């Protein structure tokens, strides 16, 4: 299996706060990796760094064999191949769903409008959003908005998808429809790095789970092992808290 | 004369916060009149208003100074003579502020975008933009009009327009672009950074993200304070009279001097009131609508 993403000794601080300390992680093509960890452990920051939304202080990030953290790298070209979906959807409220999807392909990739719209409609249909094409985002439910946000990232036809707690802003009854979309993508072989608090989902969909603790990957392995026999005391305590909170 | 230019845009810049007062009041009034569900409160409002203004009117008209005031400010014959002349010249004011408004929209956007450029490379541009807005918000408008309107034609340089109106338009544009740039910038900054992140994550360049995602949302939000500034600009088109250019105010002055009467000024004031009040109401309505929408729950 060839590698999709490789992080080597990645460090990131905000002022004096060290958020990522020496992160080393390789993700293979078609692999689904879930990042778990307490609030503030650096999950979002890690994803934002891979998408180059945050500059890193040290280390290297290599995507499909190309170092993207070097000098003279066109960040826009990198971002076109790495999709990211945010917790808060971040749809463009002044644009219809269709235009939300076609903006990236048209402006960043230069796809002609007609073809971009055709592809966007096909994507929306695939994820059960065909009747929302002409709507504005604020007319949709949270679950629908998040599904639109995922299809917006997919419209760029990315090699890798980064998902940052995409269900934590949703009401419980809306979570399933969004997770189903991710399951379908995983089944289709999409490479994904997923930050999540949904342990049931992680166990279900991930090939590998990484436990992030104070900016370090403390432990990683297949979900079956991490969730049943964690080696690290801190991992165990984190999972116990999650179970106590009824999220597993 | 130059109190207006200073006072007007300043309140307009903070228009969002300041605007909430009148808008809230407007909503209040509506609910008091309509919300009752019966027509009785409407009639009470109409009756009390009628009584109040009748009494006030009678008091003014029966006061000892009234005949003198009426002859000096409200002379019917002078009004009928002066009004058409002034109205005809007001076309020049419309042309002046019309052209200036278009130029302001463009220049102010440029300045605002310059101010929002990130990184150390653009420090000189940011500094330049900041110096510009500080300078032109700090100097009285009439002074800028005088400096450019008298000064530039007097230079007699080749290629420099000699028309004082042209320079007056330039002066008004420079001053109001400084205010409107701040309005735009407030609008740009009011758009949550996650919108920029979302646009950039799709591979759009900073410029593309600005153009397609940030500015369309920002401009929509700043329309009310922008219109406030334009009302100020429209009023300040009268400053061009200072250069001796015969627009409406100068025309009113001429008629007034000939008739030894101030009624022409009242006629001009009436014209200004008629064009600015609907715009002010429009601003209130837009702000109120904006608030209703926000209360209705939008997404960021
Ligand atoms: N732009 C920023 N400026 C300063 N500090 C930041 C910034 N972004 C994140 N941080 C800090 O970095 C730390 C890690 O934040 P991050 O959002 O990556 O955590 P997380 O694991 O995603 O948490 P959560 O589960 O709550 O989303 C936190 O302490 C946060 O306050
Ligand atoms: Mg997070």
DSSP letter for each residue of A197-229 = S-HHHHHHH-SEEEEEETTEEEEEE-HHHHHHS
Q: How far apart are CA B168 and CA B153, in angstroms?
A: 11
Amino acid A1: pLDDT: 63
Are residues B217 and A117 in contact, defined by beta-carbon separation less than 8 angstroms?
A: no
Q: Is the ipTM of this complex over 0.95?
A: no
Q: Is the pLDDT of residue B271 over 70?
A: yes
Between positions 7 and 66 of A, the ones with CB within 8 A of B are: 48, 51, 53
Amino acid B135: pLDDT: 96
Burial A80-109 (b: 16+ CB within 10 A, else e): bbbbbbbbbbbbbbbbbbbbbbbbbbbbbe
Of B2 and B159, more confident: B159
Amino acid B27: pLDDT: 43
Q: Is the pLDDT of residue A31 over 60?
A: yes
Q: Is B14 helix (H, G, I), strand (E, B) or coil?
A: coil
Of A102 and B291, more confident: A102
Q: Is the pLDDT of residue A41 over 80?
A: yes
Which residue's CA is the closest to the ligand 1 atom numbered 8? A45
Q: How far is B91 from chain A (nearest CA, A)?
A: 37
Amino acid A133: pLDDT: 95
Which residue's CA is the closest to the ligand 1 atom numbered 24? A39
Q: What is the mean pLDDT of residues B156-184?
A: 92
CB contact under 8 A, A103 and B195: no
Which residue's CA is the closest to the ligand 1 atom numbered 25? A39
What band does A26 get if pLDDT is binned at 50, 70 and 90? very high
Report the pocket of ligand 1 as residue ranges, CB < 6 Å: A 14, 17, 19, 37, 39-45, 165
- B49 vs A: CB within 8 A: no
**Residue A230: φ, ψ to 5°:** -65, 145
What band does B227 get if pLDDT is binned at 50, 70 and 90? very high
Q: Is the pLDDT of residue B234 over 60?
A: yes
Residue B133 vs residues A79, B98, B117, B138, B226: alpha-carbon distances, Å: 36, 22, 16, 8, 16
What band does A242 get if pLDDT is binned at 50, 70 and 90? confident
Question: The domain that contains A176 carries what CATH number?
Answer: 3.40.50.300
Q: What is the mean pLDDT of residues B277-290?
A: 88
What band does B38 get if pLDDT is binned at 50, 70 and 90? low
What band does B212 get if pLDDT is binned at 50, 70 and 90? very high
- Short-list A194, A207, A136, CA closest to A166: A194
Q: How far apart are CA B233 and CA B186, in angstroms?
A: 20
Helix, strand, coil shares of chain A as percentages rounded to 5?
A: 40, 25, 35
Q: Is B65 helix (H, G, I), strand (E, B) or coil?
A: coil
Q: Is the pLDDT of residue B238 over 90?
A: yes
DSSP bridge partners of A152 = none
% of residues, chain A, pLDDT over 70: 99
**Residue B2: φ, ψ to 5°:** -100, 10
Amino acid A168: pLDDT: 87
Out of B194, B202, B220, whose CB is closest to A94?
A: B220
- B162 vs A: CB within 8 A: no
Q: What is the pTM of this model?
A: 0.81
Q: What is the mean pLDDT of residues A22-44?
A: 95
**If you measure CA to CA, which chain A residue comes closest to B299?**
A138
- A231 vs B: CB within 8 A: no
Out of B204, B212, B298, whose CB is closest to A93?
A: B298
**A46 CA: nearest ligand 1 atom:** 18
**A37 CA: nearest ligand 1 atom:** 21
Q: How far apart are CA B162 and CA B156, in angstroms?
A: 7
A18 CA to centre of ligand 1 in angstroms: 10
- What does A55-72 look like in DSSP terms, one character per residue? --SEEEEEETTEESSSTT
In chain A, the number of structural domains is: 1
B41 Cβ contact list (under 8 Å, min separation 6): B32, B33
Amino acid B37: pLDDT: 52
Average pLDDT, chain A: 92
B231 CA to centre of ligand 1 in angstroms: 45
Residue B211 vs residues A98, A156, B217, B218, B219: alpha-carbon distances, Å: 18, 19, 10, 10, 11
Q: Is the pLDDT of residue B19 over 70?
A: no
Which residues in chain A have their CB less than 8 angstroms from residue B197's CB? Answer: 48, 53, 86, 90
B81-126 pLDDT per residue, tens: 989 999 999 999 999 999 999 999 999 999 999 998 888 999 999 9
What band does B286 get if pLDDT is binned at 50, 70 and 90? confident
Q: What is the separation of C-alpha B220 from the centre of its chain, rounded to a whole number of angstroms?
A: 17
Residue A65 vs residues A5, A22, A27, A82: alpha-carbon distances, Å: 8, 20, 12, 14
**If you measure CA to CA, which chain B residue comes closest to A88?**
B300
B74 CA to centre of ligand 1 in angstroms: 69
Which residues in chain B have their CB less than 8 angstroms from residue A109's CB? Answer: 203
Q: What is the mean pLDDT of residues B215-243?
A: 92
Q: Is A101 helix (H, G, I), strand (E, B) or coil?
A: helix
CB contact under 8 A, B213 and A76: no
% of residues, chain B, pLDDT over 70: 85
Find the domain containing A164 and state its range. 3-244
Average pLDDT, chain B: 84
Gyration radius from chain A CA atoms = 18
Amino acid B61: pLDDT: 87
E-state strands within chain B: none
Q: What is the mean pLDDT of residues B280-300?
A: 73
- What does A102-166 look like in DSSP terms, one character per residue? HHHHHHHH---HHHHHHHHHHHHHHTT-GGGTT--GGGS-HHHHHHHHHHHHHTT--SEEEEEST
Q: Is the pLDDT of residue B12 over 70?
A: no
Paired tokens of B267: 């006629």
Q: Is the pLDDT of residue B15 over 60?
A: no
Q: How far apart are CA B146 and CA B84, in angstroms?
A: 28
Pairing of strands A58-63, A66-67: antiparallel
Amino acid B28: pLDDT: 45
Between positions 193 and 222 of B, the ones with CB within 8 A of A are: 194-195, 197-205, 208, 212-213, 216-217, 220
A73-105 pLDDT per residue, tens: 888 888 889 999 999 999 999 999 999 999 999
Burial B215-246 (b: 16+ CB within 10 A, else e): bebbbebbbbbbbbbbbbbbbbbbbbbbbebe
Give the orientation angle of helix B215-236 with respect to helix B3-13, to 10 degrees: 160
Q: What is the mean pLDDT of residues A43-47?
A: 95
B124-154 pLDDT per residue, tens: 999 999 999 999 999 999 999 999 999 988 8
Amino acid B1: pLDDT: 40
A202-236 pLDDT per residue, tens: 998 999 999 999 999 999 999 999 999 999 999 99
Which residue's CA is the closest to the ligand 1 atom numbered 9? A45
What band does A248 get if pLDDT is binned at 50, 70 and 90? low
Paired tokens of B199: 């646009």
What band does B29 get if pLDDT is binned at 50, 70 and 90? very low
- A158 vs B: CB within 8 A: no
Q: Is the pLDDT of residue A120 over 90?
A: yes
% of residues, chain A, pLDDT over 90: 79
- B297 vs A: CB within 8 A: yes
Which residue's CA is the closest to the ligand 1 atom numbered 28? A40
Paired tokens of B157: 């340089």
Which residue's CA is the closest to the ligand 1 atom numbered 2? A14
Are residues A238 and A36 in contact, defined by beta-carbon separation less than 8 angstroms?
A: yes
Give residue for tokens 């004082």.
B164
A46 CA to centre of ligand 1 in angstroms: 9
Paired tokens of A100: 């939300």
CB contact under 8 A, B202 and A103: yes
Which residues in chain A have their CB less than 8 angstroms from residue B202's CB? Answer: 79-80, 103-104, 108, 152-153, 156
Q: Is the pLDDT of residue B213 over 90?
A: yes
């Amino acid at each position: 299996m060839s590698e999709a993403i490789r992080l080597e000794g990645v460090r990131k601080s905000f002022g004096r706060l060290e958020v990522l300390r020496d992160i080393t992680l390789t993700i293979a093509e078609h692999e689904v990796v879930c990042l778990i960890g307490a609030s503030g452990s650096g999950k979002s920051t890690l994803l934002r760094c891979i998408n180059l939304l945050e500059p890193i202080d040290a280390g290297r990030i290599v995507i499909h064999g190309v170092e993207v953290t070097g000098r003279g790298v066109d960040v826009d070209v990198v971002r076109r191949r790495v999709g990211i979906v945010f917790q808060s959807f971040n749809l463009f409220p002044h644009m219809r769903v269709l235009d939300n999807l076609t903006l990236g392909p048209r402006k960043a990739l230069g796809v002609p409008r007609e073809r971009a719209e055709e592809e966007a409609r096909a994507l929306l249909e695939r994820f059960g959003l065909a009747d929302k094409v002409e709507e504005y985002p604020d007319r949709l439910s949270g679950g629908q908005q998040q599904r639109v946000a995922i299809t917006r990232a997919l419209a760029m036809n990315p090699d890798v998808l980064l998902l940052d707690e995409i269900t934590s802003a949703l009401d419980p009854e809306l979570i399933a429809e969004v997770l189903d979309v991710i399951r379908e993508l995983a089944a289709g072989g999409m490479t994904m790095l997923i930050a999540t608090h949904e342990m049931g989902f992680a166990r279900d969909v991930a090939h590998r789970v990484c436990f992030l603790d104070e900016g370090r990957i403390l432990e990683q392995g297949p979900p079956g092992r991490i969730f049943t026999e964690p080696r690290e005391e801190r991992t165990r305590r984190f999972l116990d808290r999650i179970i106590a909170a009824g999220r597993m | 004369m130059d109190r207006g230019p200073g006072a007007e845009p300043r309140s307009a810049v903070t228009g969002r916060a300041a605007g909430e007062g009148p808008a809230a009041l407007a909503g209040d009034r509506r609910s008091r009149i309509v919300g009752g569900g019966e027509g009785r409160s409407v009639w009470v409002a109409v009756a009390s208003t009628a009584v109040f203004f009748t009494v006030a009117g009678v008091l003014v008209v029966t006061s000892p100074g009234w005949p003198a005031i009426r002859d000096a400010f409200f002379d019917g014959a002078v009004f009928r003579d002066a009004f058409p002349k002034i109205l005809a010249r007001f076309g020049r004011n419309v042309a002046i502020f019309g052209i200036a408004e278009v130029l302001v929209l463009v220049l102010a956007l440029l300045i605002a975008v310059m101010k929002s450029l990130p990184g150390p490379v653009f420090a000189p541009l940011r500094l330049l933009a900041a110096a510009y807005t500080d300078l032109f918000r700090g100097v009285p408008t009439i002074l800028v009009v005088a400096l450019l309107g008298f000064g530039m034609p007097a230079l007699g340089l080749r290629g420099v327009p000699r028309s004082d109106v042209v320079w007056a338009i330039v002066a008004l544009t420079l001053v109001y672009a400084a205010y409107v740039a701040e309005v735009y910038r407030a609008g740009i900054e009011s758009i949550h950074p996650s919108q920029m992140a979302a646009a950039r994550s799709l591979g759009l360049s900073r410029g593309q993200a600005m153009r397609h995602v940030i500015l369309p949302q920002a401009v929509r939000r700043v329309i009310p304070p922008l219109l406030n500034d334009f009302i100020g600009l429209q009023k300040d088109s009268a400053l061009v009279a200072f250069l001796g250019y015969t627009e409406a105010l100068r025309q009113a002055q001429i008629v007034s001097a000939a008739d030894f009467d101030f009624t022409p000024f009242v006629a001009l004031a009436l014209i200004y009131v008629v064009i600015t009040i609907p715009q002010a109401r429009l601003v209130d309505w837009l702000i109120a609508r904006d608030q209703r929408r926000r209360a209705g729950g939008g997404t960021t």
